[in-house]
């Protein structure tokens, strides 16, 4: 079997030492229970069809059978995994209990998402997966590819870290091609053009519906509230596109049917910054309390994940892989890849297009990158007369009071 250079890993000796340590951390495993939270958000929803949405969070329906490939970030093309007959499961998570366990492996001030992932891995939640795919999106993820190696086989998807199309399109295509070759070999698949085209089409159907939903929310705030929205997006991490379409289609159809004459007297803002994934809805809870809706976002776990289509220009195998590379690397919004130009353009443009009241920059201390650009964003948006609030927080709930003061004052400032 061809040894792939960018396959992450540890020597068996070191791996088994580390594995023993992980098994000692949470011998009885860790299975967070979110029934209470689910119930709260289900009750907050104004839609009857949201019941099924929150049920799906807890159930395993809508997930295809087959070898399961866990991956992180929106830089890993799920179409390639699906084309090879495997089931992609995006493992990005923000779970406080898992993050606390993760702190026994990682430093306390590390990114909460990486801590959460590491905690989940140590607690054995990934052991039923066949493969882990970790893109070298940030330093934390790159190191994670080694720390998770004892748990499951890891493929490190190493990508040049810049979203500059001209310079990197060929390199990205090459890396994706390698990844595809690896998957085909691993899952003994003979996937080619037709499988890839079919998967891209499935993904694009999802994009089409997502766009309609996104646009609808901006025009009819509060009907599909931001909990429903982010839950729906989080569900796309593991649901088959058809199952997701079914769920989202039902919600959108109900919402469209009830949109007539509906009034919303709150504030509509754009939420930028760190990802928001169920159950880490702390900021959304506060916004909801003050009748403020996050109707647009620039998050890698939201808009960035579903908004852009795969645009196949050349229907050759290489052409499709290149189209995927452009979608996932150039078009999407991974904060480590995305240039400040692009982020600022997006904030300015979306705020103007939907006539939003302001921008809230949610900084989960995920990594320094988020923090580093805060001042630049603040200064530019101030010049553009777009109200801007930056909030720094983490997964814990102890700073809710302070966050409320900031957010409430921001909303008071909007008048």
Partner 1 sequence: MAIAGLDIGSVATKCVVVDDGRIIGAALVRTGTDTEKAATRALADALQQARLERAVLEKIVSTGYGRRQCGLADRVITEISAAGAGAFRMNGRRPGLVVDIGGQDTKVIEINGEGSVSDFLMNDKCAAGTGRFLELMAQVLETDMEGFSQLARSAEAPRRLNATCSVFAESEVVSLIAHGESKTNIAAGLFEAVASRVAAMLRQFQEQPVFFCGGGARSPALRLALERLAGRPVQVLDPPQFVVAFGAAMLPDGV
Partner 2 sequence: MKPRRRITLSRRIIQLACLILLVYGGYLFKGRLAGQEANVGEPPGTGGSLFPDLKAPKGAMSTTQFAPGSILWPSGATPVLENYPPTLVCRFNPKGGLFKACIVHFFSENFTWQTHLKYLLPHLTLFVLLCFLLGRFWCGWVCPIGSLGDLLSWLRRRMNVPVRRFPAGFRNALVFSSYGLLGATLGISTFIGLPNYSRFQCYWFLPYCQICPARLVCPVFGLIKPGWKDFTNGVSATFTLLAWLVLGLFVAAFYWGRRVWCHLCPVGLVNSWFNRGAGLELHKKAVKCNKCGYCADACPMGLTAMYEADTDRKYNQNGCIMCLRCLEVCPKDGCLSCRFFGRRVLESRY
- Identify what 387 binds: partner 1, partner 2, none; CB under 5 to 8 Å per kind: partner 1
- Identify what 16 binds: partner 1, partner 2, none; CB under 5 to 8 Å per kind: none
Residue 322 as a binder of partner 2 (CB under 8 A): the answer is yes
In the chain, the N- to C-terminal Cα span, in Å, equals 65
Residue 368 as a binder of partner 2 (CB under 8 A): the answer is no
Torsion of CA 108, 111, 115, 121, to 10 degrees: -150
In angstroms, the CA 202 to CA 241 distance is 6
Residue with smaller CB distance to partner 2, 109 or 314: 314
SS3 90: strand
User: Interhelix angle for 35-44 vs 50-58, to 10°?
Assistant: 170
Instruction: Name the residues that contact partner 1, by CB under 8 A.
Output: 375, 378-379, 382, 387-388, 392-393, 399, 401-402, 405-406, 408-410, 412-413, 415
Query: What is the DSSP annotation of 289-329?
Result: HTTEEEEEE--TTTHHHHSSPP--SS-SHHHHHHHHHIIII
Q: Which two tokens stand for residue 359?
A: 């921008």
Are the CB atoms for 293 and 221 separated by under 8 Å? yes
Shortest reach from residue 192's CB to partner 1, in Å: 53
Shortest reach from residue 117's CB to partner 1, in Å: 24
Residue with smaller CB distance to partner 1, 259 or 413: 413
Residue with smaller CB distance to partner 2, 50 or 310: 310
In angstroms, the CA 17 to CA 149 distance is 12
Residue with smaller CB distance to partner 2, 68 or 206: 206
Residue with smaller CB distance to partner 2, 317 or 371: 317
Beta bridge partners of 289: none
Strand order in the sheet with 267-273: 292-297, 267-273, 358-363, 388-392
Residue with smaller CB distance to partner 1, 259 or 376: 376
Residue 217 as a binder of partner 2 (CB under 8 A): the answer is no
> Does residue 279 have a cis peptide bond before it, meaning omega lies within 30 degrees of 0?
yes
- Identify what 217 binds: partner 2, partner 1, none; CB under 5 to 8 Å per kind: none
Contact string 280-319 vs partner 2 (x = CB under 8 A): ---------------------------xxx-x-xxxxxxx
- Identify what 368 binds: partner 2, partner 1, none; CB under 5 to 8 Å per kind: none
- From the CB of residue 77, how many other CB atoms can be counted at a distance below 10 Å? 28
Residues that bind partner 2 (CB under 8 A): 163-166, 169-170, 192-193, 207-208, 211, 307-309, 311, 313-319, 322-323, 326-327, 330-331, 339, 341-342, 345-346, 348-349
């Amino acid at each position: 079997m061809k040894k792939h250079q960018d396959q992450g890993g540890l020597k068996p000796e070191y791996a088994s030492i580390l594995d023993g340590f992980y098994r000692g951390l949470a011998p009885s495993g860790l299975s967070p229970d979110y029934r209470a939270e689910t119930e709260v958000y289900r009750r907050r929803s104004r839609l009857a069809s949201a019941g099924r949405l929150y049920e799906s969070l807890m159930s395993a329906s809508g997930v295809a059978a087959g070898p399961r490939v866990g991956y992180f970030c929106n830089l890993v093309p799920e179409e390639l995994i699906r084309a090879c007959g495997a089931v992609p499961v995006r493992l990005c998570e923000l779970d406080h209990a898992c993050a606390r366990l993760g702190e026994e492996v990682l430093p306390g001030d590390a990114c909460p998402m990486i801590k959460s992932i590491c905690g989940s891995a140590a607690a054995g939640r990934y052991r039923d997966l066949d493969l882990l795919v970790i893109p070298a999106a940030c330093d934390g993820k790159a190191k994670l590819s080694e720390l998770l190696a004892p748990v499951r086989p890891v493929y490190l998807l190493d990508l040049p870290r810049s979203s500059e199309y001209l310079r990197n399109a060929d390199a990205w295509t090459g890396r994706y091609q390698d990844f595809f070759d690896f998957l085909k070999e691993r899952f003994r698949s003979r996937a080619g053009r037709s499988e890839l085209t079919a998967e891209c089409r499935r993904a694009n159907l999802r994009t089409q519906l997502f766009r309609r939903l996104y646009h609808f929310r901006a025009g009819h705030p509060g009907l599909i509230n931001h909990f429903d929205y982010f839950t729906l997006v989080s569900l796309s991490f593991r649901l088959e596109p058809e199952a997701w379409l079914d769920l989202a289609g039902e919600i959108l159809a109900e919402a469209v049917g009830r949109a007539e004459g509906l009034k919303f007297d709150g504030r509509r803002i754009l939420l930028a910054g760190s990802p928001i994934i169920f159950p880490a809805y702390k900021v959304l809870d506060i916004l909801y309390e003050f009748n403020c809706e996050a109707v647009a976002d620039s998050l890698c776990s939201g808009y960035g994940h579903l908004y852009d289509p795969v645009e196949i220009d050349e229907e050759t195998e290489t052409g499709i892989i290149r189209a995927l590379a452009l979608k996932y690397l150039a078009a999407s919004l991974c904060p480590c890849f995305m240039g400040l130009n692009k982020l600022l353009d997006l904030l300015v443009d979306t705020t103007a297009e939907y006539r939003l009241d302001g921008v809230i920059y949610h900084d989960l201390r995920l990594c320094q990158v988020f923090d580093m650009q805060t001042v630049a964003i603040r200064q530019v948006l101030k010049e553009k007369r777009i109200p801007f609030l930056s909030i720094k927080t983490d997964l814990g709930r102890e700073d809710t009071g302070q966050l409320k003061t900031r957010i409430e004052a921001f909303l008071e400032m909007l008048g």
